[in-house]
Every structure is written in structure tokens, then in C-alpha cells.
Structure 1
Amino acid sequence: MHQIIYMSRGVEPMSEEQLRELLLQARAANEAKGITGALIYGDDQFMQIIEGAENDLVLLYAKLLNDPRHKNVVKLADKEIMQRNFSQWSMAFKTVSSEEFAQLQGYVEPDALDLKAPGLNAADSLLLEMMKSFILNPRK
């Protein structure tokens, strides 16, 4: 089992209808490949975690890199995992406010991320916990 976490910036703000269409496409494609995960959108930015067979994730990530709806794609984690963290969703989804996105522990703007920063992989568990908290514990 493999996991990739990435973030990116949308090329333009997405409407609720555009987000709904994106989600429907992602869920259908992910179900067909046995991929699970979660997607957070806020402040015109995406953060996504995908889980599945490594080969399937490599192909999906390559496709994501060429998706014209976003830019500045930055991979934050790419590793083997013992088990799925989002097994119940082909793609969980949540929109968050600009303030919520800014509150994410370990959050860095995609275009400001220093990929040479030591210990970047140490953020893997923090990113995972953040994704879980936003998806599993919706704020009211």
C-alpha cells in the first residue's frame, strides 16, 4: 500500500459546481482503481492525500501534474504505508476558509515551500493527522 500527499494552487477560484464536478470525476476514477483518499480545498489551494497501489498512484500523480486546473504542484510525501487511512472514501472532500487553511499545522504555501529544508519527510504524520482532523471532525 502506498500514499502520496501533495498540495497545489488553483489557476483560478473554483465554483461549487466546478468542485462538485471535480469530485465526481475523482471518485469515479478512484473507485475503478481502488484508490482512496481525501481532498481539501480552500483559499484557491488544494491539499490531497491519495492511497493505493504504488503503480496506480504514480500514474494518477503524473496525470495530476498535467491537470490545467492547478499549478505549483508540490509533493509533500510519497511512501509505503501499512494500511489505508481513508479506506471508507474513494475521495473524501472538504472546503475550508482561508483562515482554516492558514491554521493548518505545518502549512506552507506551495510556491514558498523549500524542498531542500531538512526533515521535510518528518511532516508526514502531521499532514496525515491534519487531513484526518479536517475530514473526520467537521467544524460547525
Structure 2
Amino acid sequence: MHHIIYMSRAAHPMSDNDLEFILRQARLNNEQRNITGALAYGDGQFMQIMEGEKADLDAVYEVVSRDPRHKGLTKLADKEISQRSFSDWSMAFQTLSPEQFYELAGYTAPNELNEQAHNLSAADNLLFQMMNTFGLTQRA
């Protein structure tokens, strides 16, 4: 089992319809590949956590990296995990206020995480903070 966590900035402000379309696409694609995860959008930024088999995640991330609806894609984590954290969610979703998004991701800059590539504990902390934002129970 593997997970990828990334952040990006929307290429343009997203309407509710834009976000619903992205969510429908993600859920359909993720169900076909047995990928679970969560997506947050706020203050013009995305943060996503994807879980599944490495080959499937790599394929999806490649598609995500070419998606013109966002820019500044920054991978925060790409590593093996012992179990899924979002096993019941093909794609959990939450729109956040700018303040909530800052609280979720603002305490550590993506470039700081990149400098810590050998130690991704900061990215794991983002995962658990995101789980709390969604009101999901953390695993011990």
C-alpha cells in the first residue's frame, strides 16, 4: 500500500460546479483503480491524499500533473504505508475557507517538506490534520 500527498494552486477560481465535476471524475477513476483518499479546496488551492497500489497512484498522479485546471503542483509525500486511512472514501471532499486551508497546510511550506524528503513526518502530520478537518477518526 502506498500514498501520495500533493498541493497545487487552481489555474482559475473554481465554482461549485467545477468542483463537483472534478469530484465526480475523481470518484469514478478512483473506484476503477481501488484508490481511496481525500481532496480539500480552499483559498484557490488544492490538497489531495491518494492511497492505493503504487503503480495505480503513479498513473493517476501523471494525469493530475498534466491537468490544466491547476498549477504549481508540489508532491509532499510519496511513500509506502501500512494501511489505508481513507478506506471508506473513493474521494472524500471538503471546501475550506482560506483560514481553514491555511490551518490545514499553512504551518509548513511545501519547500520545507521537499528539503525533508528523507523524512516525511511533516507530510504525515498533514495527513492526520486533514483527517481531523474531515472529521474522520485517526488510527492509532
Q: Gapped runs of 5+ residues in structure 2?
A: none
Q: Distance in 2 between matches of 1:104 and 1:120?
A: 20
Q: Do 1:106 and 1:123's aligned partners in 2 also have CA atoms closer than 8 Å?
A: no
CA deviations over 1:3-33 (Å, ceiling 9, x no partner)? 0000000001100011001100100000000
Corresponding position of 1:2 = 2
CA deviations over 1:61-90 (Å, ceiling 9, x no partner)? 011000000000000000001110000010
Q: Distance in 1 between matches of 2:121 and 2:81?
A: 14
Q: Distance in 2 between matches of 1:133 and 1:71?
A: 26
Deviates more, 1:95-104 or 1:35-44: 95-104
Which stretches of structure 1, 4 residues or longer, exceed 6 Å deviation after superposition? none
Q: Superposition RMSD on alpha carbons, in Å?
A: 1.8
Q: Do 1:3 and 1:77's aligned partners in 2 also have CA atoms closer than 8 Å?
A: yes
Q: Do 2:36 and 2:50's aligned partners in 1 also have CA atoms closer than 8 Å?
A: yes
Corresponding position of 2:81 = 81
Q: What are the equivalent positions in structure 2 for 1:75-114 lying under 5 Å apart? A: 75-104=75-104, 107-108=107-108, 113-114=111-112
Q: Gapped runs of 5+ residues in structure 1?
A: none
CA deviations over 1:71-116 (Å, ceiling 9, x no partner)? 0000000000111000001000000000111122654565xx2433
| Identity in percent | 51
Q: Distance in 1 between matches of 2:83 and 2:98?
A: 31
Corresponding position of 2:130 = 131
TM-score normalised per structure 1: 0.89
Deviates more, 1:122-131 or 1:93-102: 122-131
TM-score normalised per structure 2: 0.89
